[in-house]
Structure 1
Amino acid sequence: MGAGPSAQGGRPRPERDLRAERAAALARRGAAAAATDSGVDHLVCACGGERYGVPLAAVAQVLPSRPATPMPGAVPALDGLVALSGRIVGVLSLARALGRPDPASDADAAAGHMIVLRGVHPQPLALAVDRVLGIARAPGAVAAAGAGAADPDRLGNEAASVYAPASGAAGDGRPDFVVIDLPRLLRRALP
């Protein structure tokens, strides 16, 4: 199917490279999808009546809560120590580290979760939370705005860096959450 005469006026029709057009269209579609999908995944957890997001890259594992051995003279946010896979891990109460009230009862704490962290502190650490809700993506612009900015949304807490609407269609059931700046949280909780 070369450049033959067209049905309109007998002029030759230019040859179309359909493969190149399709490749260009797919590249545009991929770029648009990447632009809408940019963001940072967070493990969203409940602490009291609030939802907080811990960057998923800093999460090693999530476990059911277990009793921690208290440390005399420890910082107030430290619940104690637990043994995990042959290591001693410090367990921080996320509520106390953020200056929030403790869970209402010991039964609530026993039903909670521990988020074991990686790469955020020289010592192995875990965060004690009421429960883990799931994974949500904070839009890239929101996640970037929270990185390195001290309390940009005036949340009253430097460790709670920015409020992030979870990505997805409106009403899809994904909760909004406050992004936790782990380095700031740990500097504040473990002086």
Structure 2
Amino acid sequence: MNGAAEAARRRALREARTRALAGRDRAAGQRVTLRSFLVCACGEDRYGLPLAQVAQVLPARPVTAVPDAPDALLGVVALSGRVVSLLGLARALGRPGAAEPGAGHIVVLRGGAAAVALAVDRVEGVVAIAPSDPDLPNATESLLDPAVAGLGPGAVSGYAPAGTHGGDGFVAVDLPRLLRRYLS
């Protein structure tokens, strides 16, 4: 490479670095709060559970059935000396691909008067999305995507399409709405 070409390349690199640093300062002034979701799979479906409402994730364990329980209630499990109700996430949303008792993962939820956990086929990871993302509406807004409109009675708060967070799409679940039917 000749001297003039090398000097031009260095100048271009400095200018790009200056623009990137200037953009970082502007972005720091406009703090964006992200919503984090634990992304889980049940069959072919992917669901995002608000991370703030997740206490822990555990491998599946033996489940004790509860007679005359709703279909979504797989039974109860013993966790750290507590008896915890285990709901199949897919079943609670009225979807196929329900987790088999004793397989997959258990997602233990935070708070609430009753100890509740969700059974999922697998936990895929944590994803953070800007709440202003037009593809992920608030729980009070209607869903635009008809493919997810039939999920659970008001238990869906939005849809994060593939690519908006660097991964596959997922349905954001409103846990208080989902659990309301089972905790009343």
Quickly name the TM-score band, shorter chain normalised.
0.7 to 0.9
1:122 aligns with 2:113: yes
**Unaligned ranges ≥5, structure 2:** 1-21
Question: Per the alignment, do residues 186 and 126 of structure 1 end up closer, same or farther by CA in structure 2, a change over 3 Å counting?
Answer: same
What residue in structure 1 maps to residue 80 of structure 2?
Answer: 85
**Unaligned ranges ≥5, structure 1:** 1-23
Deviation of the 1:39 alpha carbon: 2.2
1:23-102 matches, cutoff 5 A: 27-32=25-30, 34-35=31-32, 38-102=33-97
Letter matched to residue 95 of structure 1: A
1:134 aligns with 2:125: yes
Secondary structure at the aligned position of 2:119 is classed as strand
Deviation of the 1:129 alpha carbon: 0.3
Looking at structure 2, the residues matched to 188 and 149 of structure 1 have their Cα atoms a distance apart, in angstroms, of 21
Looking at structure 2, the residues matched to 123 and 159 of structure 1 have their Cα atoms a distance apart, in angstroms, of 19
Secondary structure at the aligned position of 2:61 is classed as coil
Letter matched to residue 131 of structure 2: G
Deviation of the 1:188 alpha carbon: 3.2
Asked if the contact 1:94–1:127 (Cα under 8 Å) also holds between the matched residues in 2, the reply is yes
Deviation of the 1:147 alpha carbon: 2.5
Question: Per the alignment, do residues 159 and 28 of structure 1 end up closer, same or farther by CA in structure 2, a change over 3 Å counting?
Answer: same
Question: Per the alignment, do residues 133 and 76 of structure 1 end up closer, same or farther by CA in structure 2, a change over 3 Å counting?
Answer: same
TM-score by length of 2: 0.74
More displaced, 148-157 or 52-61? 148-157
Q: Deviations 1:64-85 (Å, cap 9, x if unpaired)?
A: 0112101111122111111111
Letter matched to residue 113 of structure 2: P
Asked if the contact 2:136–2:160 (Cα under 8 Å) also holds between the matched residues in 1, the reply is no
Q: Deviations 1:13-45 (Å, cap 9, x if unpaired)?
A: xxxxxxxxxxx986424125x33xx32000000
Looking at structure 1, the residues matched to 160 and 88 of structure 2 have their Cα atoms a distance apart, in angstroms, of 22
Structure 2 residue corresponding to 1:146, chosen from 122, 138, 142: 138
Secondary structure at the aligned position of 1:188 is classed as helix
Bigger radius of gyration: 1
TM-score by length of 1: 0.72
Question: Per the alignment, do residues 26 and 151 of structure 1 end up closer, same or farther by CA in structure 2, a change over 3 Å counting?
Answer: closer
Question: Per the alignment, do residues 27 and 91 of structure 1 end up closer, same or farther by CA in structure 2, a change over 3 Å counting?
Answer: same
